[in-house]
Structure 1
Amino acid sequence: MRNEREARGVRGAREAPAPDPVDARIGTRLAELRAEHGWSLGELAERSGVSRSTLSRVERAEVSPTAAFLNRLCHVYGRTMSQLLSEVESGPAPLVRAAEQPVWEDRASGFVRRSVSPSHTGLRGELVEGRLGAGAGIAYDRPPVPGLEQHLWVLDGTLEVTAGDVVHRLGTGDCLRLRVWGPTRFRCPGPEDARYVLAVVLP
C-alpha cells in the first residue's frame, strides 16, 4: 500500500503544470533583488505592503504577478517596470524587431503590456504599448519612481486616466502628459478595447 501511495504521489508531482517561463524568470530576479538588499520576506512585506506569502509564491513562480504587485516592488527597488522586465530578458540591443518585443499580460485585469523600446537599464526614456479590454481597468497605488513623467497617446478606443482626484477621458489620437506622484488608474469604458502608447521618462 505504501509503495502504491508513493507512486501516486510521484505521478501527481509529474502531472503538476510547469510554471510559466516568464513568471519563473521574474520570480528569480525578484528573489535576487531581495537578496542584494539583504531583506527577509518579512522586511520586504513591511516595505511594500504585500504579504509575505504572496511575495514568496511569486518568487517561486507559483502564481503570476499582477501589474499592481510589480509596481509596488518597483517602487521599493527604485526602478520602472520596463527596467525590471528587461532584467529578465537577454542582453540589451539597439534594435528590437516587432516580433521580438517582450509582451507581458496581467491575467487578473486583462492588461497587456508590450515593451516597445530596446531594453537598457541605463536609459531614462522608454516606450510601452498598453491594451485594455472594454470594461477592464488597472490601478497603481504609487508610481514606481516618484515624479515619473508620462506621455500617454491613445491609438484606438477610449481611455479614462485618473491621477489623484482628476479624471481625464481620452479618445483616439488624444495625448495626456503628467508627472506621477500618487495613485493612478487606467480604465477602458468601452465599447471597444483601448490601445495606447505610453512614453515614460525618469526624473
Structure 2
Amino acid sequence: MGDPIEHQPDPVTVRLAERLAALRTERGWSLDELARRAEVSRSTLSRLERAEISPTAALLGRLCAAHGRTMSRLLAEVEAEPPQLVRAAEQAVWRDPDAGFTRRAVSPPHPGLRGEVVHGELRPGADIAYQDPPVPGLEQHVWVLEGVLELTVDATAHRLAAGDCLRFRLWGSTRFRCPGPDPVRYAVLVVLP
C-alpha cells in the first residue's frame, strides 16, 4: 500500500483531512470501525485526520472505497465549487511521489453531473493496485495517450498502447502498472452509475 507521506500540511491536505474526518463522523463510525472497513491502521487514520500525514494513492483508494466515493469526487469535495470552464493552469493536480503517480482533474466532478475526466501519469515501474472500486458498477473509459499501460480489471490483464481505449464497469480490484521504459500518460472518463 505504501507508507503515508509525512510533511508540513498544505491547505489541500488540511481540507482533505477535515473532509475525511467529517465523512467518518457522518456515518457514525469510530476510527476503529473505519480502520476495519478500509483495512488501514487506526493510528494511520488518526494521523491522517489530523493532517500529520498525506495519504498515498493506495491509502486514498481504500478510504474512497470505504466511503463509496471516487477519488475525484473526494478531492473535489475539498476544493471550492468548480467552475464550468477549467483552464489547464487551474486544474487540480495531486501527486504521490513515492508511487510515481500524478493525477490531474481535467474536468472535476460536480454535483448533478455524472461524468468527469481525469489525466493520469505513471513513471516507469510504477504499480498501483486498488482492492475495491470506490463505487461498485462505476463506468470507466481508459484511453492511453502516450506510452504503455498494463491495466488489470477484475483479474483480467490488458496491455494498452498509445491510442488504445479500454471501457468497463468496475466491480472488483484494479491495477495500473507502467512497464516502462517510458512513462505512460492516459485519460480516464469516469461515469457514476
TM-score, normalised via structure 2 length: 0.92
Q: Which amino acid aligns with 1:103?
A: V
Could you tell me how far 1:20 is from its partner in structure 2? 2.6
Q: Answer with 118-127 or 26-35: which moved more.
A: 118-127
Answer with 112-121 or 192-201: which moved more: 112-121
> 2:91: which partner in 1?
101
Residue 168 of structure 1 corresponds to: 158
1:138 corresponding residue in structure 2:
128
The aligned amino acid for 1:127 is: V
Q: What's the CA shift string for 1:116-139, capped at 9, x where partnerless?
A: 114413321110000000111111
Counterpart in the other structure of 1:67: 57
Deviation at 1:190, TM superposition (A): 0.7
Among 99, 110, 117, which residue is 1:127 paired with? 117
Question: Where do 5+ consecutive residues of structure 1 fail to align?
Answer: 1-16
Q: Sequence identity, in percent?
A: 66
SS in 1 for 2:133: coil
**Comparing 150-159 with 30-39, which one deviates more in the overlay?**
30-39
Asked whether 1:53 is paired with 2:22, we answer no
Q: Is the 8 A contact 2:155 2:173 kept in 1?
A: no
Structure 2 unaligned regions, length at least 5: 1-6
TM-score scaled by structure 1? 0.88
Deviations 1:131-181 (A, max 9, x none): 000111111001100111110000000000011221100111111111111
Q: Secondary structure at the match of 1:159?
A: strand
**Distance in 1 separating the partners of 2:136 and 2:43:** 27
- Answer yes or no: is 1:111 the counterpart of 2:84: no
Structure 2 residue corresponding to 1:153, chosen from 143, 161, 167: 143
Give the 3 Å change call, closer, same or farther, for CA 20–95 of structure 1 in structure 2.
same
2:171 aligned with 1:181, yes or no? yes
Does residue 31 of the first structure (1) align with residue 21 of the second (2)? yes
> 1:2-40, CA deviations, whole angstroms, 9 ceiling, x for partnerless residues?
xxxxxxxxxxxxxxx632322211111101111112211
Query: What is aligned with 1:193?
Result: 183
1:20 aligns with 2:19: no
Per the alignment, residue 202 of structure 1 pairs with 192
AA matched with 1:171 = A
Q: CA RMSD in A?
A: 1.3
CA–CA separation in structure 2 for the residues paired with 1:79 and 1:132: 22
Distance 1:66 1:118 in 2: 20
Structure 1: distance between partners of 2:171 and 2:30 = 28
Secondary structure, in 3 states, of the residue corresponding to 2:22? helix
SS at match of 2:102: strand
Match of 1:40 in 2: 30
Q: Give the aligned residue type for 1:202.
A: L
CA distance, structure 2, for counterparts of residue 119 and residue 125 of structure 1 = 7
- Specify which structure has the higher proportion of helix: 1
Asked whether the equivalents of residues 142 and 165 of structure 2 are also in contact (C-alpha less than 8 Å), the reply is yes
- Greater C-alpha Rg: 1
